[in-house]
Amino acid sequence: VNKQLDKMGYNIGVRMIEDFLAHTPSAKRCTQFEEVADVICKQGFRMFLGIVPEVRNWNAAKDEFSLLLTENPLSEFVELPPHCADSLWYSNIICGVIRGALEMIQMEVKCWFVGDTLRGSDSTEIRVKFVKILEDSLPAGED
């Protein structure tokens, strides 16, 4: 189920980035991953979920950070059944959205949940790690 939620989110993110760019003409190309984190939090989350998470816990290389959501609109009226409490990341769709949107702007990231209020944590924490810049490529046979 977690993989399906991530896949659904990825497909949404691939399309949402176009909407985001169309509605934020002042957005400029980010040159550092710290700028990407800032745009995701202050513009992306606010535009689509109406919240502004905090960026915390940068690693030393500045290629990995945590998004802390003190409120998560996706889990507001949700209670996990006891048999799913240890395995289901209900809001995993958010990780897929982040991956899909960033991939469309040539940035490969890994994204996963560290904690969720639905599973007893104080806040929802999503970890995002930069993997690499993707190169534009043409399909075989096209020049």
- Tell me what the pLDDT averaged over the chain comes to: 85
Residue 42 CA to residue 21 CA, distance in Å, equals: 14
Q: And the tokens for 17?
A: 């980035």
CA 119 to chain centre: 19
Determine contact, residues 70/123, Cβ cutoff 8 Å: yes
Does the predicted model carry a pTM greater than 0.75? Answer: yes
**CA angle in degrees (0–180, nearest 5) for 49-134-51:** 10
Give the residue, 91 or 77, on which the prediction is more confident. Answer: 91
Give the pLDDT confidence score for residue 29 in this predicted structure: 81
